Structure 1
Amino acid sequence: MELDIEKRTIRRITWRIVPFIMLLYFIAYIDRVNIGFAALSMKTELGFTASILGFGAGIFFWGYFLFEVPSNIILHKVGARIWITRVMVTWGIISAGMAFVTGPTSFYVMRFLLGAAEAGFFPGIILYLSYWFPSSRRAGVTAFFMAAAPISTALGSPVSAGLLQLDGVMGLAGWQWMFILEAIPAVILGVVVFFYMTDRPEQAKWLKEDEKTWLVSAMKADAAKKTAGASHSVLKGMFNPQVLALSLIYFGTSAGLYTLGIWAPQIIKQLGVSSMAVGFLNAIPPAISVVAMVLWSRHSDRTGERTWHVILACLTAAAGLAIAAGAQGMVGLIVALTIVNVGISCAKPPLWSMPTTFLSGAAAATGIATINSLGNLGGFVGPAMIGWIKDKTGSFEGGLYFVAGLLVISAVTTLLLARSQRGKAEAQTLAAR
């Protein structure tokens, strides 16, 4: 009977929550990386060098960095429904404003403001999932949520390329239409969030009474398991050594992810294909990575193993970047980009299942936000370095090797963190005797 209630409840909350947050992240990711497609024509019209483009695309994450922790603390206090509404409406308005940049300064300012507006969305959703799903289920659920990023690239690439064809309509460039039209769903969905999202299981009128009772009890039991060793305070959440280690790990994966999001269209374009062809070719690697991500995270949940699921995925992505750096033809490049996509996508769900195993309450809110804000600076460093190296050498090769190195550092840090935790656990066992 207990098992029946568990299956029924998990199925109901999964269908209620996961498709909706996937849709939100789908839109968020499009607005975050569509600069990669806008740049196919925007950089020529506005005279942007690769360095300007890489720096401007990456400065988004400084806005993210500065406002992420306070944003997640506010979400923890006022609830996801109100705060995610605020996040989405403001980022939609600012994303549309990207259509009216006129030079490097306005480009940098708008990208920074977009990062500040969107700060809190991703870690807020990760925190939100920890309110609804027991830790044993979290990697699989997180994988479905995060699958929205590669799906967004797969479906959004042809759409973004198509919107560039509106060049000249009503006196606007194609890249301007792309920013405006792709921003509208964020504002609309922001309003929907306010009426659709439920903050906590106790407030879920859409659950049956026995399902609500089971879920509330299960989440309390899950929290009790980690109470003794968990950190609860805001400062401990920010400065916990494990949080800082996970931030470094996430730094490498973010550098890889946004290297793909921002530079993959440019890398494909240099082989001499049209913008529409770039859109369809850029959709292939993330489409394949979605399947790999779901299967990998399910295996991680089933085995309860996180460390090697992160390490192997990071090394796979690093290998893919190294192959892409030396790829000569289109087939070789797309295969290499597929390997990178698979590695990056597979690393993230098991990685994001780690923080809430040793953090709870306000510490979980700040810890998750700290990991995301510090780690996402990789989204600045990776694209900015690729742009700078491209201007200096005329090639993407050195930049791709640089990001591959960051992913190797992520893998090594994951291994060191696991050994440290194991040593600490053994010491506690001996002390208990």
Structure 2
Amino acid sequence: MERGLAPTKDSAATAVVGAGVVGGAIAHLLAKAGQRVVILEGDSVGSGSSGHGHGVVSLIGKDFRPGPHFELGCIGAEIYPNYVAELIEDSGLDPMYHRLPSLALAIIDEEERIFREQFELHKDRLELRWIDGDECRMLEPRITEDARGAVLYEHGQVDGYRLSLATARAVEQLGGRLEMRKLVGLMSEGDRVVGVQHAGGQIACQTVVLAMGAWVREAEAWIGWPIPVRPLHGEVLNVRLPGPRVRAFILTARHGPILQRKDGILLVGSLGGVTMSGMDVDAKHVFDPHDTSPPVFDLAAHEENGKFMIERALRVMPALEEADLVAHLAGVRPLSADRMPIIGPVPSMRGVIIATGHGTKGIHLAPITGRMVAEMILNGRDLAGVPTDAFSPSRFQPAVGIGA
């Protein structure tokens, strides 16, 4: 940690570190409120999990823990259409958000158990209907004859990469700026941050938002506080399927999703979903929050994984045999120790806010995270109606030696 700030003319009110969907949404809303905002990005816009995520804005499944996490997902889904409309107006770019009927589809016993439990759990909160296999095929005739049934539920989907581009463009249109610079440290006076140091110099600022995704642990030494986030490897196939567009989003627990994007591309398969990954989603922690072993960043698209995803997807929709592969994408998502996002001020350094750890739901939760952090910075308070305390960095206390 550098002490004090060398003389510099470069300044901003807030520096947001990370130009993915979360950092972009935060910076967009701050710039819209009139703040002088700079986004720092050491790679490229949307280069992390934002660029390979499925972009599903859905509440059925085990991605959300019961309680505050699920509530945050509900609020996030509710505000999504309005946020996208606002973003299009501010950026001039369409992130390809659209809504379709969705099938949380079961073709094996385990999937039927999972989705019937989800139906019973959420039927009083969400507009859900359980339908049988024949009704599934009436909605989308190419679904396998093995379909046992599904939770029918309408929701949205968006392209995470285009969403990232749109937020960065909006920031610039609103008077902020994007600096393709890698953060190398923070500047402080006493216990308060006063600026950031990047590979090419320094920027004075009153607030720093660490929205660095799976790479956020680089900042632990700067702030003297643990950020228990590990990279969760994920892959997805982009394909073109001849014939009419698929008429529903299809989600499964063990066979990956089949998601019709607004531009006609199908997103097929998954390795990084909470059920596909094999982690114990009901455990208090999916890894030891005090584990300081080096994280593994597997950013490669593996041929054997592509074959696995195709094999699983063909069980759901045999017609995919005729699809043409457009791209095989891979990356890592920021998974926190308890699977919930880490959002809020760092107890160890005034002026530093963390916004990461969203796991598989970063694209879903980006707009609501943006509103939460903007409210903290602009008005010094929590966003009304949001269970902010549940996501505070203070829930993870330092082990002996952290920040010493």
Of Structure 1 and Structure 2, the greater helix share is in 1
TM-score by length of 1: 0.26
TM-score by length of 2: 0.27
Of Structure 1 and Structure 2, the greater strand share is in 2
